[in-house]
Amino acid sequence: MTSVTLKTPHSGEYQQPTGLFINNEWVKGVDGRTFEVINPSDETVICSVHEATEKDVDLAVAAARKAFEGDWRKVTPEDRGKLLVNLAQLFEKNVDLLAAVESLDNGKAISMSKVDVSMCAGTLRYYGGWADKIEGKVVDTAPDTFNYTKKEPIGVCGQIIPWNFPLLMWAWKIGPAIAAGNTVVMKTAEQTPLSALVACNFIKEAGFPPGVINNISGFGKIAGAAISSHMDIDKVAFTGSTVVGRQIMKAAAGSNLKKVTLELGGKSPNIVFDDADIDNAISWVNFGIYFNHGQCCCAGSRIYVQEGIYDKFLERFKERAQKNEVGDPFGPSTFQGPQVSQLQFDRIMSYINHGREEGAKIEIGGKRKGDKGYFIEPTIFSNVQENMKIMQEEIFGPVCAISKFKNKDEVIKLANNTTYGLAAAVHTSNLNTAIEVSNALRAGTVWVNTYNTLHHQLPFGGYKESGIGRELGEAALENYCQTKTVSIRLGDALF
């Protein structure tokens, strides 16, 4: 059996696929293994899904290779674009179902899940528009030579996505890969496989040929490792932790030297100057850390506030954070749901304990909320030192640390004092300050008087240990194309 009947408070009953989606068909795993998917809100088992092993990765790669070398290469760029637009329209048509499954499986608030689905549709439609605009150029070197370059797809792309934005990361990866003419083997996170499986129902409906998009559920150490080291995968894209990113690079180098793009962790600074609009800054700082339960690679977890407004800002920020409604993801006013798993819950609580033991002051939070589900109170630390674990390591939860600074030079030094470089923010009413500080911050994205305002047209990725390559925007297409040079001699023989 490769589906079960489930029910959510938002969608009612629906059919949940549980198999592996290979060659446009639902199949069981070769070894017949399954694993349980846990509801993070109440710690119960939602269902079990089929687990992909190395054997299943081989089958998915073979299907993707056959498609890439076959009819998919004959599909015009315009028609590739139409397929992505069709898929975007199906996402919009089924927004309530997709959002409900996302909230059930991941625990994020239903209001946020609906936004995620809308952003998925936007991303897929955007890359549908790019499909017939990937162009080469003519290069004039001499009158008797005709040279041109062309952009060609890389081939079979392995894609490994995380559990914090299951559907959105699925769309971020699928969009540019398909627009450029590649085929895909996607591995979803073992914690959150369900929404992507529902999305796979729409692949065939959108008109994609067999083998172009394959989706497997499985564990990183088995299926993810098999993708990273597979000799017939031409490129691997990964979003997740820096630790795992290093392992994937090693596997890629040790196999067929496949192309690699990585979107990894962060410890992003959120800087508030004395002249900032304090109400606006507090709103965005709150959203910057507690959005998606703090389970966000670009979360603004290090908050630096200039000394002139520090005390006032801290008191008002505490008041604002305590208004965040933490609870049932399907509650109409819920902002923060549970953490994704017991493992993640324990990890976050261990960081809170470390902060307390190292002498940081807990201003609010620091405790579990309720006695069922993986809920953690919004937490703010003050009295922190730069060398503390909570200031250096990515916590990936609703926990932030706030510190004061004197001037621009000091805060730039503090902000850059990290091995990461994914994102940052500056809050100020002075345009010169905004531009000067933004230019000095070593981060792939810098927001000014806002936070977490990602858009499919804007490239996203990291400096330093936050990754290689870019997601989104035209820049993402570069990750899925390779350049061929053709040089034609028009004149007589030279020798």
Active-site choice (51, 102, 190, 263): 263
Phi and psi at 312, nearest 5°, equal -65, -45
pLDDT at residue 153 in the model: 98
Number of domain units in the chain: 2
Q: Could you read off the pLDDT of 386-395 as tens digits, one per residue?
A: 999 999 999 9
User: Which CATH number goes with the domain that contains 327?
Assistant: 3.40.309.10
Residue 485 clears pLDDT 80, i.e. is over it = yes
User: Which CATH number goes with the domain that contains 243?
Assistant: 3.40.605.10
Query: How far, CA to CA in Å, does 436 sit from each of 132, 222, 273, 393, 440?
Result: 38, 46, 13, 27, 6
Q: Is residue 172 part of a domain?
A: yes
pLDDT at residue 28 in the model: 97
Residues 27 and 115 in one domain: yes
- Beta strand 379-382 with 399-405: parallel, antiparallel or unpaired? parallel
The letter for the amino acid at 374 is Y
pLDDT at residue 494 in the model: 77
pLDDT at residue 419 in the model: 97
Query: Domain containing 38: what range?
Result: 3-264+468-483
Pick the range with the lowest mean pLDDT from 207-211, 227-231, 284-288, 490-494: 490-494
Q: Which single residue is written with the structure tokens 């559920």?
A: 217
Q: Could you read off the pLDDT of 313-355 as tens digits, one per residue?
A: 999 999 999 999 999 999 999 999 999 999 999 999 999 999 9
Q: Is position 263 annotated as part of the catalytic site?
A: yes
Q: Is residue 492 part of a domain?
A: no
pLDDT at residue 457 in the model: 98
Residues 317 and 393 in one domain: yes
Residues 227 and 316 in one domain: no
Residues 131 and 148 in one domain: yes
Residues 401 and 426 in one domain: yes
Q: Which single residue is written with the structure tokens 């997709």?
A: 98
What's the pLDDT band for 495 if we cut at 50, 70, 90? confident
Residues 209 and 351 in one domain: no
Q: Is residue 488 part of a domain?
A: no
Average pLDDT over residues 391-410: 98
Residue 492 clears pLDDT 90, i.e. is over it = no
pLDDT at residue 302 in the model: 98
pLDDT at residue 1 in the model: 73
pLDDT at residue 229 in the model: 98
Average pLDDT over residues 76-100: 98
Residues 118 and 78 in one domain: yes
Residues 323 and 247 in one domain: no
Residues 35 and 184 in one domain: yes
Q: Judging by beta carbons within 10 Å of its beta carbon (0-12, 13-18, 19+), is residue 321 exposed, middle or buried?
A: buried
The mean pLDDT value of the chain amounts to 97
Q: Could you read off the pLDDT of 248-305 as tens digits, one per residue?
A: 999 999 999 999 999 999 999 999 999 999 999 999 999 999 999 999 999 999 999 9
CA-to-CA distance for 112 and 13, rounded, in angstroms? 21
How many other CB atoms are there within 10 angstroms of residue 283's CB atom?
A: 15
Residues 339 and 238 in one domain: no
Residues 119 and 133 in one domain: yes
Q: Is residue 490 part of a domain?
A: no
**Which of 41, 38, 7, 37 lies closest to 293, judged by CA?**
41
Residue 23 clears pLDDT 90, i.e. is over it = yes
Q: Is residue 223 part of a domain?
A: yes
Residues 257 and 273 in one domain: no
Half-sphere exposure of residue 234, counting CA atoms within 13 Å on the CB side? 19
pLDDT at residue 29 in the model: 97
Q: What percent of the chain has pLDDT over 90?
A: 98
Q: Is residue 494 part of a domain?
A: no
Name the 3-class secondary structure at 293.
helix
Residue 58 clears pLDDT 80, i.e. is over it = yes
Q: Is residue 495 part of a domain?
A: no
pLDDT at residue 271 in the model: 98
